[in-house]
Structure formats: structure tokens, C-alpha cells
Structure 1
Amino acid sequence: MDFELKPLNLSGAASEKCDAIVLLVSDTFKPGKDALSSLAAHAVKEKHLETKAGKLLQAYRSSGIAATRVVLAGAGDGSGKKVHQAVVAAIASLRTSKARRLMICLPADAGDDAVRAAVAATAEASYVYVMTKSKPEGRELQMVTIAVADPKLHQDAFEAAKGAANGIEFAREVANLPPNIATPTRLGQEAKGLAKAYGFQCEVMGPKEIAKIGMGSFLSVAKGSEEPARFIVMQYQGAAASEAPLVLVGKGITFDSGGISIKPSADMDEMKFDMGGAASVLGAFRAIGEIQPALNIVGLIPTCENMPDGRAVKPGDIVTSLSGQTIEILNTDAEGRLILCDALTYAERFKPSAVIDIATLTGACVVALGGVRSGLFATDDKLAQGLQAAGETALDPCWRMPLDEEYGDALKSNFADMGNVGGRAGGAITAAKFLQRYATKFPWAHLDIAGTAWKSGAAKGSTGRPVGLLVQYILDLAAAAPVAPAGAVKKAAKKAAKKAATKAKAR
């Protein structure tokens, strides 16, 4: 799907040839003398349309309007959040219309937040998974025009929104793949594909290299699977080499049976989504490749399956992590922290400015926060505040949780430096306390996305969260970072990425 930002008032929009127009009608809507304005004003006056966000009214082949269909959508106060609700509802109403060209007319006083929301909501609501279907149907929308008064005012926000939307879609597509396709090997291939397309570095290590490094905790999880583990290292350089990088670490359990502590069979198919953290790092790097922020960013993805066979790690086993700390395995279904802890220790070699790990880590976080906000744990207030602010801007919110020292007492072990679980009480917090022991040499944040990475039921599928949050945080960091002399580093990076993308497209 392609997006364009176009300077159009409602009079101009009425004459544009397209399959459908979505006209957002806010509380402060002031109609003109054009056909679109008249249609909306009459609908509001006759109380056929409310301006409450998400309320809709459809019209077909209206007089004076070139578009076949018009969807009048209430947009409340016109804020990003309300625009997002309105566009999602409008796109859903057009699902069966086979519309290919769509125009979205934003309120006259729309800000950057509304532009970002319109792009994000359109991409979100029009996404359809087709990869493994014999008759791939449903992806009709091809071109979306966002109509605003002055595109120059919103161009930066628009370009960033497109990059983020593509990153979110990439994450959704990878996470939605079945586990017999989205193996650790496949994730490594996806990372290499991104590196080739956008001109950054990528290394994919196998079991021998991982063992040589000393990642005993990580490899203990992979022992029970026929699929070989992979450790993916991606490096994007958008600033001077001397600048400390931001490191993103994504949990990549491509299928989680629970191991010897096997899960109940109900809904076990959804454990293919246990690599949501890895998918979000890949999605963030897709967006980074397009946006080219003036930062250095590293992506680390430890990825394997958690399966029960004769070689699998057992409750009572003790493993040694890359840091040298020993861990008593009390529950093999608490495996995500076992692969992440070694990746966090590995991150030290990059001397990072900060490290953020992203993981579908605990059911306890779902109990605490449901599917609305991701859980946020952090050892640095500035980092936490930045992530919270980015989440609000991107409409991909998180909520900070505590890290009091007392919670760590639950991890005590009689036989090792720590156990890998701390009981049911405060499960999301004790999991974070486990990871904190491996994140003492840099500012660190942990996003528990167990409740937000996917949906169940009729809407089953990956959400692509928290790619939006991560991309916005990166954009905020880049905006605050000192610019390289004459923008040389960023300019060179953009040129390289454009060249690589052109070559990839040609193939």
C-alpha cells in the first residue's frame, strides 16, 4: 500500500476521482459551500451523524462528489487518538467495498498527531494476513491519499508515520507466520534480508558460535528442539562511530511448548507469538532503514524453540549464563528470561547508551495490565519517561511497574545464584528482577508485551506492538541528538540506504 500527502480542501477533494473518501468530521467542523461540506453539515444537522469518534454514516454516488463512496466519520476533538478511532472504524466499514484508491480528509486544524494517526490506523485496519492461504484475498487497498491544508507542515511526521507503519506491518507478518515456517533460521534470513535492503550490518550465529561465546543459559533452552538456535546481531550506523548505540533486544522463542513443564493444550497454537519481541526488533529495523535516524542502533535477537525431548533442560538443572552467574531451573516454561539474560550480557560489549529488551515474558503482566498497555520496567528514570512519552505519542502505550529490591528475594536458590522463577505473586516483577541482574552496566528498560503483542479470538493475530513505541522513541532521541557536521553521516547513510532499496526493488 502506498501513501501520499496532498494539499486539498474539501472542494478539491470532492472532485478527486477515487473509490472512496473518508471525511473526518470533528466537533469544530465548519462547512464550506462544496458538496462534501454540505453532505456532512446536513447529516450532522439532521442528527444522522454524531461527531463522537468512531460514529459513521455512508453515502453512495452522492451528487457533486466524484468518489463512488463517502464515509462520514466522527472524529471527536480531532486529536490523534480520536482520529485513529475514526479511521479504524471507517476502514473496517469499507472492507467489502473492494476500494483500491482511498482519500482521507483530515479536519482543517489537524496537527502532526492526526497525520500520524491516519497513516497508522489505515495500515492497521487494512492489514490482512495471506501468506499461507491458497486463495489470498482481502488486500484491496493500494493507494491512500491524506488530504491536508498544507503538506509542508506535516511532511516529516508523514514520512516517519509511513516508516513506522511499514515496520509494524513487517513485524505482524513475521509473527503471524506458523512456527514450522518462522523458525530461528527464518528469522535470521529475514534479518539478513533487511540488512541487504537497507545497508546495515548483520551477523547470524549458530549453535557452535553461541556455545563458543559462552551463552550457556540461552543454549539450555534450545537443547530440546531439532531446530538449531540462532543469535542475530544487527548494527545500524546513522551517527559517528564514537557515538554510543541504543541496543534493542528481542525475545525470539519461535514456539513455546513450555518444555518439560509443558503447557496445557488449549490455545497452545498461540505460542507461535512468543517471538513477538524478536518480531518487534525486526520491525523497528525495517522502519529504521526507511527513516534513517541520526543514531547508532544495535539489534540483538536470541532465538530458538522451547521443546520437550530427552535432551531438554529439566526442573532442577543448573546452568551457567554468559555473565558467569548460575541459575537453577525451577520451571522450564520460564525460558524467555534464560535467553534474554545472555543477550543482555552480550550487549555490554557495545558500551550502549541504553538497552531496551522486548519480550512476551509473563502471563502475570496480562493479568496486571490486560491488552491495553505493555508493562515497563526501568532502572533509569529518563529512559522510562522517554519510553512512556513515546508510547503516548504513538498510541502504543506502556505503564511503568516497580522494581523494589524486596521483589528480588523471591529468586533465592539453595543451589545456584538464583532460581529462574519466583512464584505466582508479582510474577511480572520477579521476572524483571531476574533480568535486572544482567543489566547493571547500562541504563536498562524491559517491556513485557505478553498482553499487547497479539490478540486472541476472532481477531487472532499479531498487533505489531510495540514497534510504534520503539520507532517514536528513536525519533525522539534523534531529534534531541547533536547533528553531525553538515549532516554528513546522516546524508551518507540515506544515500546508501536509497541505493540499496533501489537495487532490492529492481530484483
Structure 2
Amino acid sequence: MEFSTQTTASLHQIKTPALAIGVFGDGILSPAADIIDRASNGALREALKTEFKGKPNTHLVLRNLPGISATRVILVGLGKQDSYNAAAHAAGELVFANYCANAGLAEGVSALAAIECADAGLRARARAAAVAAGRATYRYNATLSKKQDDAPKLRKITVWIARTQATEAQNGLREGRAMANGMNLTRLLGDLPPNVCTPTYLGSTAKKLAKEFKSLKAEVLDRKQIETLKMGSFLSVARGSYEAPAFIVLKHAAAGGKTAKNRKAPIVLVGKGITFDAGGISLKPAANMDEMKYDMCGAASVLGTLRAVAELELDRDVIGLIPACENLPSGRANKPGDVVTSMSGQTIEILNTDAEGRLVLCDALTYAERFKPAAVIDIATLTGACVVALGHVNTGLFSKDDALADSLLRAGREANDTAWRLPLDEAYQEQLRSNFADIANIGGPPAGAVTAACFLSRFAGSYPWAHLDIAGTAWRSGKDKGASGRPVPLLVQYLLGQA
């Protein structure tokens, strides 16, 4: 996908198959819309009177307007002007990008980024345009016998802005393109069937990224190496499957090539990589179990984020850690009542084998200590309780570090990939008490997302740490079933702020 800025031609003189113009829901024209309206002798205002109300997530196509060089003018509804914000802008860009992709157009020009809003500068608005184009052009066809005939032809999006703003917009487009590429890798890995996207496949993907980008180095530890590290909790989950586990380490070196003395401590991302989760002996219901291939979306988001970081040549060391395995029932699988010893030495009583994500993450969090990190963020489709609490809008955020939590929340708002902070009070830890081990792996139905985070916090005490529960945001069910690519934009935006 190619992105560019248009600063020279007057808006009505731009020759393009499609020109996006923003219209507010209260009948107010954006500055760009006013230009087109005057050039077309009031055609836009006439359309607003009879055909279009400017509601969010709607559009109207006007063809061959007099005085306008664009073949189509796409009126994009932005909602009421007094509530227009970054999220509304991002939604408008996606409406336009989806139209271009579905209409089979090869290119389009968007004037939406020229509309100012209080919570997003031009760089952020341009970034949103690029992310929208990437989302609109993603199509899954990896396991189809015939490739889709309706594959998008969209190859170029141009952002119309003032001449003096070109550099800022180009920086935003560059960041958005990297985010979109990372999201699409994450979506592809999530959408692949579990007999294809195995732990070994995730390891191969990391190695391919390291070959593609010079800043990346990949290491994939096998079962014997994991045993040497004494990751007993992780290995207990892997034991139930014939698929070999993999512990993936993917490192991005800061682009500045700083000396060890001047180098900042790395930021570590830990992604849950359960490539299929049947629940183990605590077997899940059959309905919708096919969606448990998405239980590795935390791992996929780490790989997608590292891809974006490498494309941007980010001037900050970033390390991705992925404990990858399957969680299946077998004669070798964990049993309720088993006690396992984690890499940290803490013992864990397994009360429910379907609470396996925390069992693999805890050893990865202990492994992260060796890097003396500035911060560690784990990303996991961890609990159905988080979906109950937050639905599919916000990712659940847990952290005892206010500065880290605030940075992640701010990054989510800036990237239109929002999170909501949930409590992590010490009082919840009592629910994890065990008579037979240092800690139980579940705390019962009350506050299930919170007690899962409390469990992980027992293994993350030596560095600033945050936990992102993406169970409600990593994929969509129903007719639009598929991975979403979240929270790659949040993570990349956070890392840009730390570089």
C-alpha cells in the first residue's frame, strides 16, 4: 500500500476515482466540503437537504459533479460537530477506505485529515487514515482452494492537507502503514486454522521476520531447552499435546545503535501463545470451541508489534517473549488437583486446567527478569470474565504502576485502540489461597479477570508491569468472524512514545 500527501492542487481540481469529504450530522459542512459545494454550485447542500444526514458510519456517493474533477465525491458522515473527536475521524476514514476497497478502486484521496479535532493532531489523523486503509484491504485466503475474486485493488491513499503540514502528515502515514502491516500479520496468524498455526509455525514466523528486518533477531527454544530453564508451569500445559511447545524470543535492537552504556533498558512484551485451547481435562463446551484457535492472539499481537517496530526502525530496544503450546486433554495432561513448580520456584495448585494461560505466562514473566526491563507488558486472551466486564470495546488493563498504566491508556486513546483500567487490589489475592501450594490457579467466579491478573502479579514483582486482557477485543464472532489485530495499534503507539 502506498500513501502520499496532496498539497498543491485545489481540492475541486484533483483528479481521482474517489474523493472523501466530511459532513457533520447537524448540517454543517467541513471546510473541504464547503470548497466542493461552492465549486459545484451548491450540489452538496442540495444533497444534505434531501438525501444525506451526515450520521456516523454512513456515506453517500455523488458522481460527476459539475466543476469537480474527481469522478466520485464520497460524502462521509461524521456525526455532530460538537462531539467530533479522534474516534469519529478514524471511523470516517474506515468508511472511505472500505468503500474504495469494496468498489474495486485502485486509489482514492481523503480530505478528512484536514478537519481539526481537539484530541488528535494532524499526525494522528494521518496515521488513522493509513490504519484504515490497511484494515479495509485485509482479506483472508490462505486456506481457500480458490483465491477470492473480490480481493481489493486499492493500492494508494492520498491525504489532502495544507502545504505547510506535509512533513507531519507523512510521518503519521508512515507510522500508520507500519501499524496496519503489524495488524494484518496479527490478523493472519489469528485467522489461520490451528492445524496450521502451531507453536512451531509461530516460531517460524518469528524467524522469517528476523530475516526480513535487520534489527530483529529470533531464537526459538525447544522442549529440552525449556526444561533446562525449569519452566515447570509452562511445560505442564504443553504436556497434554503431541505438538511440541516453543518458547520464542524475538529482539529488536534500537535503530540508533547506541552503546551499551547509553542504551535504555528494553521494553518486554509477553504474548500468550496457546494455539488451540480445548480446556484440557476441564474440557470446554463444544459450541464455539473452534474460536479457541484465537487463544494465541496475544502472541500474534507481539509478532505484529515487533514487525511494526522493525519497519519503523524504532530507536528503543524491544523484546518479545512467546510461550507457545496447545492445551488439550490426554492421559498426559494436567489434572485438577495437580501441583506444579514454576520457573520462579513458586508452586501452583491447578484447580481448573482451562485456566492455562496464566500457567504459561507466569514462567515467561520470570524469564523477562534477565533483561532488567524498563517495563513488561503481557498480552493475553485470558478470561471470559473480562468480556463480561468490558464487552468488545475496551481491552482490560491491570497494573500497580500508575505511570505505566497512564501511558498505555493514553496510547490507546491516541491510536483509537482503547483500554480500561481495572482494579488490582491486594484484597483479591485471598481468593487465590491454596492449602496445598503457594497459590491456586483460579480464584472462583467473582472478579475472574481481576484474580487472573492478581495471579500474574505474583511473578512480576521485580519490574514495572502491566497486563492487557484482550479476550473481548482480539477477535469478532458471528458473520464477521475473524481476528481484529488489536491491540497492535495501542502497543505501537506506546512504544513510539517511549522511543
Whether these two folds match at TM > 0.5 is yes
Q: Which residue of 2 aligns with 1:104?
A: 110
Q: Which residue of 1 aligns with 2:475?
A: 454
Q: Distance in 2 between matches of 1:39 and 1:190?
A: 54
Q: Which residue of 2 aligns with 1:21?
A: 19
- Higher deviation after alignment, 125-134 or 449-458: 125-134
Say whether residues 1:134 and 2:134 are aligned partners.
no
Give the secondary structure class of the aligned counterpart of 1:300. strand
Residues 471-503 of structure 1: CA distance to partner in whole angstroms, max 9, x if unpaired?
00001111xxxxxxxxxxxxxxxxxxxxxxxxx
Q: Which residue of 1 aligns with 2:220?
A: 204
Q: Distance in 2 between matches of 1:127 and 1:184?
A: 24
Give the secondary structure class of the aligned counterpart of 1:51. coil
Structure 2: give runs of 5+ residues left out of the alignment: 117-121
Alignment of 1:44-55 (within 5 A): 46-55=49-58
Q: Distance in 1 between matches of 2:42 and 2:13?
A: 11
Query: Is 2:199–2:325's contact at 8 Å kept on the other side of the alignment?
Result: yes
Match of 1:194 among 177, 200, 209: 209
Q: Distance in 2 between matches of 1:8 and 1:250?
A: 45
Task: Pick closer, same or farther for the CA change 1:23–1:252 going to 2, 3 Å.
Answer: same
Query: Is 1:14–1:35's contact at 8 Å kept on the other side of the alignment?
Result: no
Could you tell me which amino acid in structure 1 is paired with residue 30 of structure 2? F
Give the secondary structure class of the aligned counterpart of 2:35. coil
Task: Pick closer, same or farther for the CA change 1:108–1:203 going to 2, 3 Å.
Answer: closer
Alignment of 1:76-475 (within 5 A): 76=79, 77=81, 79-106=85-112, 108-110=114-116, 111-137=122-148, 138-140=150-152, 141-150=154-163, 151-199=166-214, 200-238=216-254, 240=258, 241=260, 242-475=263-496
Deviation at 1:126, TM superposition (A): 3.1
Q: Distance in 2 between matches of 1:152 and 1:87?
A: 20
Query: Is 1:25–1:107's contact at 8 Å kept on the other side of the alignment?
Result: no
Deviation at 1:109, TM superposition (A): 4.0
Q: Distance in 1 between matches of 2:102 and 2:124?
A: 28
Corresponding residue pairs, total: 476
Give the secondary structure class of the aligned counterpart of 1:46. helix
Q: Distance in 2 between matches of 1:33 and 1:71?
A: 11
Q: Distance in 2 between matches of 1:465 and 1:119?
A: 16
Q: Distance in 2 between matches of 1:91 and 1:243?
A: 38
Deviation at 1:74, TM superposition (A): 2.1
Task: Pick closer, same or farther for the CA change 1:37–1:379 going to 2, 3 Å.
Answer: farther
Deviation at 1:8, TM superposition (A): 4.8
Query: Is 1:79–1:113's contact at 8 Å kept on the other side of the alignment?
Result: no
Deviation at 1:107, TM superposition (A): 5.3
Q: Distance in 2 between matches of 1:210 and 1:408?
A: 29
Query: Is 1:253–1:305's contact at 8 Å kept on the other side of the alignment?
Result: yes
- Higher deviation after alignment, 155-164 or 467-476: 155-164
Structure 1: give runs of 5+ residues left out of the alignment: 479-507
Deviation at 1:442, TM superposition (A): 0.3
Could you tell me which amino acid in structure 2 is paired with residue 152 of structure 1? T
Deviation at 1:34, TM superposition (A): 7.4
Q: Distance in 2 between matches of 1:458 and 1:307?
A: 27
Could you tell me which amino acid in structure 2 is paired with residue 192 of structure 1? K
Deviation at 1:118, TM superposition (A): 1.7
Could you tell me which amino acid in structure 2 is paired with residue 29 of structure 1? S
Q: Which residue of 1 aligns with 2:62?
A: 59
Query: Is 2:190–2:293's contact at 8 Å kept on the other side of the alignment?
Result: yes
Query: Is 1:8–1:147's contact at 8 Å kept on the other side of the alignment?
Result: no
Q: Distance in 2 between matches of 1:38 and 1:354?
A: 57
Q: Distance in 2 between matches of 1:162 and 1:43?
A: 36
Q: Distance in 2 between matches of 1:384 and 1:43?
A: 48
Task: Pick closer, same or farther for the CA change 1:339–1:469 going to 2, 3 Å.
Answer: same
Deviation at 1:25, TM superposition (A): 3.0
Task: Pick closer, same or farther for the CA change 1:45–1:311 going to 2, 3 Å.
Answer: closer
Could you tell me which amino acid in structure 2 is paired with residue 153 of structure 1? E
- Higher deviation after alignment, 121-130 or 19-28: 19-28
Residues 42-82 of structure 1: CA distance to partner in whole angstroms, max 9, x if unpaired?
34552433334323111234344444433111234463211
Note the aligned Cα RMSD (angstroms): 1.9
Identity over aligned residues, as a percent?
A: 50
Query: Is 2:275–2:326's contact at 8 Å kept on the other side of the alignment?
Result: yes
Q: Which residue of 2 aligns with 1:482?
A: none
- Higher deviation after alignment, 185-194 or 61-70: 61-70
Deviation at 1:464, TM superposition (A): 0.5
Q: Which residue of 1 aligns with 2:4?
A: 4
Q: Distance in 1 between matches of 2:55 and 2:395?
A: 27
Could you tell me which amino acid in structure 1 is paired with residue 74 of structure 2? V
Residues 228-286 of structure 1: CA distance to partner in whole angstroms, max 9, x if unpaired?
00000011111533421000000000000001101000000000000010000001001
Could you tell me which amino acid in structure 1 is paired with residue 473 of structure 2? T
Task: Pick closer, same or farther for the CA change 1:232–1:33 going to 2, 3 Å.
Answer: closer
Q: Distance in 1 between matches of 2:291 and 2:176?
A: 29
Deviation at 1:28, TM superposition (A): 5.1
Deviation at 1:187, TM superposition (A): 0.4
Q: Distance in 2 between matches of 1:328 and 1:8?
A: 67
Query: Is 2:278–2:329's contact at 8 Å kept on the other side of the alignment?
Result: yes
Query: Is 1:80–1:116's contact at 8 Å kept on the other side of the alignment?
Result: no
Could you tell me which amino acid in structure 1 is paired with residue 472 of structure 2? G
- Higher deviation after alignment, 85-94 or 429-438: 85-94
Q: Distance in 2 between matches of 1:196 and 1:56?
A: 42
Give the secondary structure class of the aligned counterpart of 1:154. helix
